[in-house]
Structure 1
């Protein structure tokens, strides 16, 4: 653990967390068995804010790169010395470290948590959001053999989840979706291909998706192929969402006429403010918006839950895929994001058992 005390009396620390998953989680790009997060703490001596980075190699980050840039990012916190001035801190962190959004998000989340704790309010109340407007979160079913996906879908429904996000890859689309439907015949099903399909495959597979009652397909083609996204949206049989194609709010205009839904994630946006900007940009361009997350601790997922009322859809099951989480967060029974039940100030993330 690295720590430092600022001239303003703030103590900053960070440490790496290895978080084993309940089951190996597979998407089209590969399998993970352990989520590597980097926890950030910022304390004023009375209150402590926590946040976490859940870096993705897809976006060019690893736990090692996060740890390498955190001292410089925390130097910005030290120079400013006030967690309530996050607009300035966000700008100066971006000026110093442009390509490490998960690292910046960890610091921003810790500061937001600390600032709200000083005001003794949950984040959603500080922002003036309606807790009843939060959409129900989906629960992810990783790519696996059809029978295993059926069993996982059946178990998720038994545990109360009514919306499933099914990860698919290059082959056996019909088999896998049929198996999921057998396990969860009444569930809302969404599909995420993580850019694994060609445009022609995506259009053809969309017919299978429609026959299985899929609500929409997320990132059917590679992220940089906006023309193909538009082709799938125009010729396919289900609505299309863009995840990897949209990193920050500046990307929304580029894809808005090619998709129906834009996906924002704190870890790729780099701050809570930027995540909110993606939602606003999507709605301004006539798209719907979904708040997503990485496989991660509640130290980061809880903050995203407070943003949920700004979005039309939610996919915030990242901490639910872990075998155990050192932090408790916002209650999500069956995927229902229960912000109204949040009694703790800040993000609501607190060390488990604390």
Structure 2
């Protein structure tokens, strides 16, 4: 298993959503992901990154350019040894900083590459990606895997009556957390939360509000004063890394803060704790640079005394949702877990096997492998994917294809 990695291919995927997903900072009507395919030790692996400019500053085009043209650290020897040696070596790399800088990392690009390499390495050894997580997860992991109950997210595209009111009594009773996407107005947000609370049990279900960094400092403090005691935490209530305002939300208003856009790399958590500006962090696989990078983030959070939620990027279309399920089943102590709503947003199956979730019990079972256990579907690759380029020496030289996109046909056509 000592052969060097073979070329990396990069694809873009843009897919119209059946209904929009709306919150105070953005309305999303189309999914946008970057897919990476690579071959390692004779096996093919797939990865996905979901660049969001309002989250990490990365766009679809910038992520493609990064993957095709940025010089990476030498990986000679990383995949020369045993399965566990290769996993630990990959986990030790800081790919978000390598693909960007420490000040301006590129986590979505890093996530797509890390996942493709890890998927291929696991498949080459006929191993489940859960074995890779076990190799580096340490005391973050549960003694035995357990599928948690998924969060229900209320966005402004539907009313609480349309979303919660149509659930069966059993489905509502099984909810453990509801996240309400904040509205531009704090008073209207409070009214929305009160409507949500009519449908759930206060003893069984926690509630949070996510403003996605859209409120001004004044609005954030007003919202915290209105919502304290009504929600369990406020997620990203003002612009990212406004530590002074976040501290005031916690200290003066008494409302716990969950970081999201403010926390991309572990150093962000150190800054937040140093300013007493957070109690929780939302760890998302693409935002944090991949599943192994997310474990680093979770470990730093636990060391600093921050509790964690495992979130998702809206409209993940491929390997990302499988990676999220894997971590959710293995990592212990999470306050909430998100699983997405791909079954509602997309009319066709985008992966093999397709996205599935039990909406009565709010359970998203992890896939059994090998690797992350899925590939992009022929339909996704034929109808929605554009080949963006190929990197013939992807891990050392920094030379890539010219930036362009086209449908994957002929010798470069993608296949599952």
Aligned: 1:122 with 2:139: no
- TM-superposed deviation, 1:28: 1.2
Distance in 1, Cα, partners of 2:292 & 2:127:
18
Aligned: 1:71 with 2:68: yes
Post-superposition Cα deviations, 1:233-252, rounded to whole Å, max 9, x if no partner, equal: 12335422111111101111
2:159 alignment partner, SS class: helix
Aligned: 1:34 with 2:30: yes
Q: 1:155 to 1:62 in 2, by over 3 A?
A: farther
Post-superposition Cα deviations, 1:45-98, rounded to whole Å, max 9, x if no partner, equal: 853211111101122211111221222369768867849365389447743543
The match for 1:224 is 241
Q: How does 1:134-145 map to 2 (within 5 A)?
A: 135-144=148-157
Aligned: 1:349 with 2:380: no
User: Contact 2:115–2:290 at 8 Å: present in 1 too?
Assistant: yes
Aligned: 1:62 with 2:59: yes
The match for 1:164 is 178
Aligned: 1:176 with 2:192: yes
User: Contact 2:36–2:112 at 8 Å: present in 1 too?
Assistant: yes
The match for 1:151 is 162
Distance in 2, Cα, partners of 1:279 & 1:132:
17
* Structure number with higher relative contact order (C-alpha < 8 Å, ≥ 6 residues apart): 2
Post-superposition Cα deviations, 1:97-136, rounded to whole Å, max 9, x if no partner, equal: 4342211110101111111222323222332243535543
Post-superposition Cα deviations, 1:323-353, rounded to whole Å, max 9, x if no partner, equal: 14512478643443434xx322212233459
The match for 1:87 is 90
Aligned: 1:297 with 2:317: yes
2:150 alignment partner, SS class: coil
Post-superposition Cα deviations, 1:153-200, rounded to whole Å, max 9, x if no partner, equal: 334667947132110122112322233234546653221011233445
User: Contact 1:149–1:179 at 8 Å: present in 2 too?
Assistant: yes
User: Contact 2:67–2:99 at 8 Å: present in 1 too?
Assistant: no
User: Contact 1:42–1:49 at 8 Å: present in 2 too?
Assistant: yes
Aligned: 1:338 with 2:353: no
User: Contact 1:301–1:319 at 8 Å: present in 2 too?
Assistant: no
Distance in 1, Cα, partners of 2:37 & 2:64:
13
Structure 2: 5+ residue runs without aligned partners? 81-85, 135-140, 379-415
User: Contact 1:153–1:164 at 8 Å: present in 2 too?
Assistant: no
Candidates 283, 295, 305, aligned match of 2:302: 283
Distance in 2, Cα, partners of 1:45 & 1:278:
29
| Range moving further from structure 2, 147-156 or 114-123 | 147-156
Distance in 1, Cα, partners of 2:196 & 2:286:
29
Q: Decide which structure has greater helix share.
A: 1
The match for 1:265 is 284
Candidates 307, 318, 324, aligned match of 2:340: 318
RMSD over aligned CA atoms reads 3.2
* TM-score, structure 1 as length reference: 0.83
1:177 alignment partner, SS class: helix
The match for 2:108 is 102
Q: 1:151 to 1:185 in 2, by over 3 A?
A: farther
Distance in 2, Cα, partners of 1:179 & 1:77:
54
The match for 2:48 is 52
| Range moving further from structure 2, 255-264 or 303-312 | 303-312
The match for 2:269 is 252
Q: 1:126 to 1:90 in 2, by over 3 A?
A: closer
1:170 alignment partner, SS class: coil
1:22 alignment partner, SS class: strand
- TM-superposed deviation, 1:31: 0.5
